[in-house]
A = this chain, B = another copy of it.
Amino acid sequence: MTQPIILLTGFEPFEQEPLNPSWEAVRALDGWPCAGASVTARQLPCVFGKALQVLEQLMEELKPALVICVGQAGGRSQMSLERIAINVDDARIADNAGRQPVDQAIYNDGPAAYFSTLPIKGMVKAMRAAGVPAEVSQTAGTFVCNHVFYGLMHQLATHASKARGGFIHIPYIPSQAARHPGQPSLALETLVEGLRIALQSAMTLQQDVAEGGGQLH
């Protein structure tokens, strides 16, 4: 019997950055054995549409039991477990192919939003207990990260997949913050450690814990 696969994706660099910490962090976990499964790390282009095509091919090919997409959130100080993906592209900057959609549905026939099916509260709890700054986030934005998150959940929903899926935003790493004075960062080692705990929790928690993680507004 084959081992279950955890598909872990990161993005290529965008917005003039020399690297994307999401790819640096996930590729460090390629091949990592986690709770009886094995991690396959892949890179996605930072391009509307094409990123989803690549993701869907990977899911077709790998038939993963768990899919977690990871993306850079320059300016955040913690690892953010995203709660919800929304059906809109509204790009403040152009993607890596020069496209900049405004208020366009990702799937015209898709619902307004999908909730993450990861046990995000339990994952945050475990990450904090291990000393990794983490939070639940109520918005993944409206750029390629949200686009991929929504497309992932739409793919899982329309294929009636039992696989869990979700998205994690991560801060800059220090070498990026050194060029963006004032921006917070986390070391690559901290990010990799945080992802390890996140994956383990996602594989082992049958249901999420009932802990507050909301915002007043």
Contact = CB atoms under 8 A, between A and B. Distances in A.
Contacts of A141: 138, 214-217
A106 interface: no
Contact of A214 (B90, B112, B214): B90
A210 to B, nearest CB: 5
Interface string A32-43: 000000000000
B216 A134 contact: no
Instruction: Say whether chain A's binding surface is mostly helix, strand, loop, or mixed.
Output: loop
A217 B145 contact: yes
Q: Which range holds the interface residue count of chain A?
A: 35 or more
A171 B183 CA distance: 12
Task: Report copies per complex.
Answer: 4
A13 to B, nearest CB: 14
Contact of A112 (B77, B90, B112): B112
A205 interface: no
A12 interface: no
Interface stretch (A58-66, A113-121, A158-166): A113-121
Instruction: Across the A-B interface, give the 3 residue pairs with the lowest CB-CB distance, nearest first.
Output: A90-B214, A184-B184, A142-B214
18 contacts: A73-B216, A74-B217, A75-B217, A77-B77, A77-B177, A80-B217, A84-B86, A91-B214, A93-B216, A103-B208, A113-B113, A135-B181, A135-B182, A138-B141, A142-B215, A143-B217, A146-B217, A186-B187
